[in-house]
Amino acid sequence: MASEQVTRAAGLLVRAREEGVALPAEAISFQLEGPAEAYQVQALVAAEMGDVGAWKTGAPSPEDEPIMAPIFADLIWPSPARLAARSLHKLGIEAEIAYRLGRDLPPRERSYAREEVMAAIDAILPAIEVVDSRCVACDQLDPIWKLADNQINGGLVIGRTVEDWRGIEPIDQPVRLAIDGATVVEGRGGNSAGDPLRLLVWMANHLGAHCGGLKAGQIITTGSLTGLRFVAPGATVVADFPGLGTVEVVFTA
């Protein structure tokens, strides 16, 4: 049974999503007890908000425990996307590499091996994660509250899929991020978690039935290659991954 603070947090986040409001600091001044309660909040919110179409995962370093959060199906848009800036509280963007599952990875007692998880992937694709929060001061949020708020996900813009994904080396993938035509980041790799496939294996062995579990057709995005950037209303953002594809989003004023 969920604790009182878990139920309260989930109710606040559902209301914020449904009404399009941002929660003030005083509304979320109570504590959640670690990642376990944050994941319980995610599950309660997902039960109210609809289907999970994607997941996000990441880690501060190759050695750190990853995190995970659902992305709702109605917050996934094909590139080029046009999103109304007024519908978001924050206009954060991260250029990322994502993977699409070709079959379910259901919970089981025996751990999934890396090759089993790789065999379940049917494509790789470029993505821009839209970062937003249901809370006013997301830059000052406790990390557990960020996790409860689906790790401040506001949506996902996806590019074309590449089915010959094993020929892509994500750790050395070139990327160029441009905002309004000006390059702001250009380099190779850059994911703080290191090997993104480690994250997928971790998810397969830790997600279980959380928010419906890992399903065929779902997309898993694996952390920023360019860091978190905030843009202004009207901005055009283009992330180019040579050899993989390009993804674009315009935040209409």
**Chain segment 165-221, per-residue pLDDT in tens:** 998 999 999 999 999 999 999 999 999 999 999 999 999 999 999 999 999 999 999
Please give the share of the chain, as a percent, with pLDDT higher than 90.
Answer: 95
Dihedral (Cα; 9, 219, 112, 190), 10-degree rounding: -90
The arithmetic mean of pLDDT across residues 84-99, rounded, is 96
- Position 76 scores a pLDDT of 98
- Residues 241 and 74 sit within 8 Å (Cβ to Cβ): no
**Chain segment 36-52, per-residue pLDDT in tens:** 999 999 999 999 999 99
DSSP 209: T
The arithmetic mean of pLDDT across residues 6-11, rounded, is 97
The whole-chain average pLDDT of the chain stands at 96
pLDDT at position 94 over 90: yes
- Position 138 scores a pLDDT of 74
- Residues 95 and 117 sit within 8 Å (Cβ to Cβ): no
Q: Give the predicted TM-score (pTM) of the model.
A: 0.96
Token pair recorded at residue 100 = 């699409």
Band (113; pLDDT cuts 50, 70, 90): very high
- Position 66 scores a pLDDT of 97
Angstrom distances, CA of residue 243 to CA of 31, 56, 176, 238: 45, 23, 12, 15
Tell me which CATH code domain 51-252 carries. Answer: 3.90.850.10
Token pair recorded at residue 177 = 């991020």
pLDDT at position 139 over 80: no
End-to-end CA distance of the chain: 44
- Position 95 scores a pLDDT of 98
CA atoms within 13 A on the CB side of 32: 25
CA distance 54 to 76: 8
Q: Give SS3 for 106.
A: coil
Band (2; pLDDT cuts 50, 70, 90): confident
- Position 186 scores a pLDDT of 97
pLDDT at position 132 over 80: yes
